[in-house]
Chain A
Amino acid sequence: MSGEADLEHAATMRLVRAKRVQDLVFGVIGILVLIVVMGLLVTLVADLLIDGVGRISPEFLTSFPSRRAAGAGVLSAWIGTTLVMLVTAAIAVPLGVGAGLYLEEYAAKNILTDAIEINVSNLAGVPSIIYGLLALGFFVYGLNLGQTVLVGGMVLALLILPIVIVATREALRAVPSGLRESAYGIGANRWQVMWSYILPSARPGILTGAIVGLSRAIGETAPIITIGALTYIAFLPPAPVSATPPWINFDWLNSPFTVMPIQMFNWISRPQAAFHVNAAATGVLLLGMTLLMNGFAIYLRYRLRRLVRT
C-alpha cells in the first residue's frame, strides 16, 4: 500500500472516530437531561405517595367528606370527577373531531380558514380561569343552568376543544396523500373517503389528542371553582341507571358536584396536618385515574393501529 493511501486511510479513521465521539457526547447529554426530568417527576410522585398512600383504603373511597380528617373520604369527589369527565368527553370529542374534519377536508383554503386556524391554536393558550368566567356568565347565569355536573363538563369541554381540534387536524394531515387519492379514484364522495378511509387511518392520532385533552381536563381546578362548584358535598348525584322504567335517567346532569382537584384544594388549605395527608391521598388517586385513562387509550391505540396496518 502506498504512503498516500495510508495517509488517506488514517484520515478516514480519524473522521469515523470523531463522528463516534460526537454521537457519544450527544448520547450522554441526552441521558443527563432525561435523568434530570425523570428525577423531578419521580421525586414529585414519590413525595405524594409517601404522604398519601397509607391513607388510601376502601373507607376513604366510600366516605363523604367530614369535619373529622380520619373519617373523611373522597366518594363524592371521584364520582363527581368521573361524571364530569364523561360529559366532557361526550361533548369535546365529537365537536372537536367534527370541527377538525371540516377545517381539514371540507373548508376552502382561504384567509377565513387561516384566521380560524390561528384563533383555534390561540384558544389553546387562554388561561383556564377565563373559560370559567365565560361559563359562569353564560351557562350558570345566562342560561340559568346552575352549578351542575352538566355545566362542569361543558366548561372543561370548551377548555380542551382546541386541543382536540388541533390534534385531529394534525392526524388527518399525516394520512398519506396516496390513500386520499386512491379513495377518490374509486369514485367515493368526500364523506365516503373520510368515513371509510381517512378517519380509520387518523383514529390513533385523534385518540391521542382526545386523551391529552381529557388528561388536562381531569386536573383542572380553576374553571370548576369559578362556576361555583361546592367544596363540601355529602351526597351523590342520582344514579344514571335505575331498576324501574325508563331505567336510564339524566337527572345526575343537573346535580351539584365536586371534583378531585377541588377536594384536594379544600383539604390542603386547612390548618390540620391530618387533612394534608388526605389531600396527598387524593392526589395519588387522581394520578391513578389519569393513568387508568391513559392506559386505556394506549390499549385502544394499539388495537386500532393493528387494524389500520392490515
Chain B
Amino acid sequence: MNDLTNARSPAVTTASPLSPEAPVRAQVADLSFWYGKFQALHGVSMPIEDRRVTAIIGPSGCGKSTLLRCFNRIHDLYAGVRYEGAINLMPDGLNLVSRTVDPILVRLMVGMVFQKPNPFPKSIYENVASGLYVRGIRTKSEVEGRVEKALKQAAIWDEVKDRLKSPAYELSGGQQQRLCIARALAPEPKLLLLDEPTSALDPIATAKIESLIDDLAKDVTIVIVTHNMGQAARISDQTAFMHLGNLVEFGETEQIFTNPKADQTRDYVTGRYG
C-alpha cells in the first residue's frame, strides 16, 4: 500500500495562483470531521472557485460525500458528529461549519441535490416553489417568475410547462432529478452541491444533466461528487481526488486527468486502482 494512504500528508495542490477573474467562493481550510469516534475527514483544504464546477472524486468510502455534506451541514441532522476547521464562504468569510453559525442559515445559502431524485409528493410547481415558501416568498407573481426561471435553468421547462400542476411523481427519473435541481436553484443559492446526481439515471438522462451543469456554471458555483471519472473530466474545471478521508490532490481538471502529480491519483484516474 502506498504510504499516502494512512499518513495525514498535505495534499498535492497544483492549482495555479488564483487569478482575479476566478475569485474564490468558498475556502475549505483544514477541515476535519468525525462520525462519533471515527474520523472521516483529515484536514482537508481546498478552494472552491466562483462560478466554476469543482468535482470531488475518489473510491467508495473516501469521504467525498462526507465532505460535500459538510457544506450545508446536513450532518447536523444526526447525533454525534463533530467538525473542526472551517469552510469559509466568501466574500464575508462566514465559517459554514462553525458551531455559532445556524445550520438553517447555511442551508438557506447552500442548495443541495441528492443521489436519488427526491421530489416532494406535491405538484411540479409546488416542488420548485417550496424553497421560496420556506424563505417567506409568497407573492404569486414573484414565485411564478422564479419557478419558471429555475425550471428553464434546469433545462426542464419545455417538458413540464403544460403540466405544472401535475404530481412530480409522474415524471421520469431523469426529469425528477432535473426538477430537484430546479428546486435547489429557485432560491438562487450561493453554492450548489450535487451528490452523485446521475448515479441513478440512464446515459441519456445523464447527458442532459451534464450539459445543464455546463450551462449553469455561468451563473452558479457548483460542487459535484461523482463516481464517474469521465463525468468529472467532462464537466468540471477543478478536481479534488480523495482517499481515506484525505485530500490527495487538487488541481485543474485537465492537469489531474492528464498529468497527475501523485501516484495514487494517477492509478485512480487511469483505472488501475486496486
Using a CB–CB cutoff of 8 Å, the interface residues on chain A facing chain B are 1, 9, 12-13, 15-16, 18-20
CA distance A20 to B92 in the complex (A): 23
Report B175-193 residues with CB < 8 Å from chain A CB: none
Q: A13: which of B91, B105, B135, B136 is its contact (CB, 8 Å)? A: B105
CA distance A12 to B105 in the complex (A): 8
The reply to whether A15 and B135 form a contact with Cβ atoms under 8 Å apart is yes
Using a CB–CB cutoff of 8 Å, the interface residues on chain B facing chain A are 91-92, 102, 104-105, 108-109, 135-136
Beyond the given A16-B105, A20-B102, please list 16 additional residue pairs across the A-B interface where CB-CB is below 8 A. Answer: A1-B91, A1-B92, A9-B92, A12-B105, A12-B108, A12-B109, A13-B105, A15-B108, A15-B135, A15-B136, A16-B102, A16-B104, A16-B108, A18-B136, A19-B104, A20-B104
- For the complex formed, measure the closest distance between the CB of A5 and the CB atoms of chain B, giving whole angstroms: 8
Q: Is the interface of B mostly helix, strand, loop or mixed?
A: loop
CA distance A9 to B105 in the complex (A): 10
Give the residue name and chain of the A residue nearest to B103 (CB). A16
Ordered nearest first, which 8 A-B pairs have the shortest CB separation?
A16-B105, A16-B102, A19-B104, A16-B104, A15-B136, A12-B108, A15-B135, A12-B105
- For the complex formed, measure the closest distance between the CB of B151 and the CB atoms of chain A, giving whole angstroms: 24
- For the complex formed, measure the closest distance between the CB of B55 and the CB atoms of chain A, giving whole angstroms: 29
List, in ascending order, chain B residues with CB within 8 A of A9's CB: 92
Which of A1, A13, A19, A20 has its CB near the most chain B CB atoms (within 10 A)?
A19
Q: Is the interface of A mostly helix, strand, loop or mixed?
A: helix
CA distance A150 to B104 in the complex (A): 60
Give the residue name and chain of the B residue nearest to A16 (CB). B105
List, in ascending order, chain B residues with CB within 8 A of A16's CB: 102, 104-105, 108
List, in ascending order, chain A residues with CB within 8 A of B135's CB: 15
List, in ascending order, chain B residues with CB within 8 A of A13's CB: 105
List, in ascending order, chain B residues with CB within 8 A of A12's CB: 105, 108-109
Give the residue name and chain of the B residue nearest to A23 (CB). B104
Give the residue name and chain of the B residue nearest to A19 (CB). B104
CA distance A16 to B135 in the complex (A): 9
- For the complex formed, measure the closest distance between the CB of B225 and the CB atoms of chain A, giving whole angstroms: 24
Task: Give me 18 A-to-B residue pairs in the complex whose CB atoms sit less than 8 angstroms apart, sorted by A's number.
Answer: A1-B91, A1-B92, A9-B92, A12-B105, A12-B108, A12-B109, A13-B105, A15-B108, A15-B135, A15-B136, A16-B102, A16-B104, A16-B105, A16-B108, A18-B136, A19-B104, A20-B102, A20-B104
- For the complex formed, measure the closest distance between the CB of A232 and the CB atoms of chain B, giving whole angstroms: 56
CA distance A15 to B133 in the complex (A): 12
List, in ascending order, chain A residues with CB within 8 A of B109's CB: 12
CA distance A12 to B136 in the complex (A): 10
CA distance A1 to B102 in the complex (A): 22
List, in ascending order, chain A residues with CB within 8 A of B92's CB: 1, 9
- For the complex formed, measure the closest distance between the CB of A132 and the CB atoms of chain B, giving whole angstroms: 44
- For the complex formed, measure the closest distance between the CB of A159 and the CB atoms of chain B, giving whole angstroms: 37
Give the residue name and chain of the A residue nearest to B136 (CB). A15
CA distance A152 to B256 in the complex (A): 78
- For the complex formed, measure the closest distance between the CB of A25 and the CB atoms of chain B, giving whole angstroms: 15
Give the residue name and chain of the A residue nearest to B91 (CB). A1
- For the complex formed, measure the closest distance between the CB of B107 and the CB atoms of chain A, giving whole angstroms: 10
- For the complex formed, measure the closest distance between the CB of B200 and the CB atoms of chain A, giving whole angstroms: 14
List, in ascending order, chain B residues with CB within 8 A of A1's CB: 91-92
- For the complex formed, measure the closest distance between the CB of B146 and the CB atoms of chain A, giving whole angstroms: 15
List, in ascending order, chain A residues with CB within 8 A of B91's CB: 1
List, in ascending order, chain A residues with CB within 8 A of B102's CB: 16, 20
CA distance A86 to B108 in the complex (A): 57
CA distance A13 to B102 in the complex (A): 10
List, in ascending order, chain B residues with CB within 8 A of A19's CB: 104
Give the residue name and chain of the B residue nearest to A17 (CB). B102
- For the complex formed, measure the closest distance between the CB of A16 and the CB atoms of chain B, giving whole angstroms: 5
- For the complex formed, measure the closest distance between the CB of B70 and the CB atoms of chain A, giving whole angstroms: 19
CA distance A12 to B137 in the complex (A): 12
List, in ascending order, chain A residues with CB within 8 A of B104's CB: 16, 19-20
List, in ascending order, chain A residues with CB within 8 A of B108's CB: 12, 15-16
CA distance A104 to B135 in the complex (A): 42
- For the complex formed, measure the closest distance between the CB of A102 and the CB atoms of chain B, giving whole angstroms: 30
- For the complex formed, measure the closest distance between the CB of A23 and the CB atoms of chain B, giving whole angstroms: 9
- For the complex formed, measure the closest distance between the CB of A167 and the CB atoms of chain B, giving whole angstroms: 25
CA distance A216 to B105 in the complex (A): 47
CA distance A12 to B104 in the complex (A): 10
Give the residue name and chain of the A residue nearest to B137 (CB). A15
